[in-house]
Structure 1
Amino acid sequence: MKVIQKTVLGVAGLALLGGAAPAYAAGSQQVQDVQVQAAPKYKILKNLSYSGPGNMPLRLGYYNKSKDAGFGWTKIKNKHNITKYSAVQALTKSPNRKKVPKSKASYSLTAYAGKYKCSRGVCRLVKQYKVTATVNEEHKGGSKYKFGVVTEHIIGPERAPNWVTKSLVKLNKKGGRAATAQKVNGESLVGSYKPLTKTVKANKAAAADLDYRGSYKLMK
């Protein structure tokens, strides 16, 4: 009986991490039940571009508010209000990638999103957030896939303002190129690989394309 239990758990472990389970008899209902019950939260929603080796899986994950526990897309969206896959990919592509101290295969990645207020062609920085993501490169249970994105959030409030997602989506689309233009009047979200100055001059011609932007470096 112990041998059978270990076999079932081993198959379930592979299913959890997207690995291929060995072929067992079709009548093994116990194995099938374990796979169905355990696998959904480990489903890979998308393989994201990654500044480290290979790609980085974004799994469905889960979030339990009462226990403040979870990981993956469900936690990122429901707890931290980052609401687009591409906003997560903006972080996994970040060149600011560092090993998490004392971890086996976890890395942190960072970016920045900032808000400018523009008037008469001059834009002043009024708000910025540092955004951080944690990923795990470990291949667990013999899976060919990494564990993937653990979480992503801003440093500050638990839930990011909606404009942070918009900024990161634009950052992912533009590849993090420096923003040099703003709206002549109104609010603009801007970022860059280089530190942003507190005040920038607006560029009316390019403003429409650069309303939202994220940054991988601190805005000053």
Structure 2
Amino acid sequence: MDGGTADELGPLIERVRSCSACANYLPLGPRPVLQLSKSATLLIASQAPGTKAHASGIPFSDASGDQLRRWMGISDEQFYDAARVAIVPMALCYPGRASGGGDAPPRPECSTLWREPLLAQLPHLQLTLLVGTYAQEHVLGSGRMADRVRHFDRYLPRHFPLPHPSWRSRGWMTKNPWFEENVLPELRWQVSNALGPGHSGLRPNGA
């Protein structure tokens, strides 16, 4: 499937939002949460909406979103500018809680049914942020999240792997100070570069 026309995107989004393929497995019922426009140049490929995003219908409308926006160095207004930023998680609906705590893994139905058609509607993408292990494994295959994040330059210019910005990431960042020192400055430059005019930035070395 190619990028298609602008007229195809609206009906596709309507079909996605009316999807109930895994309704029987979703404790809060289906409510696909995503942000998409054909002009987007930056894609955030994340895990799945949390309860707050499910309630609001707005992706990353929670503390994880606040953390991610701080990492990226952009404002709420820039983050929710659908003309430049697409947000398509691995699963579009809140999957419920895992038996051991935390959210359950993203359900696989979304990747099978919707991911390829949705991404085909993004012909101008310059950079994809792979947020969390599930997004990274889907695109890059098996591997250690920390290793990928530390060696992010191996995946540029197309992809930038990141940990999931949940509350657990605070402890992880404390144990891995290189993330703030080395990764975040380059992340902010890459994000600024992908977003284009009005989002200027310098490389960490000032170049």
More helix per residue? 2
After TM superposition, is the score higher than 0.5?
A: no
With normalisation by structure 1, the TM-score equals 0.29
Higher relative contact order (CA 8 A, sep 6+): 2
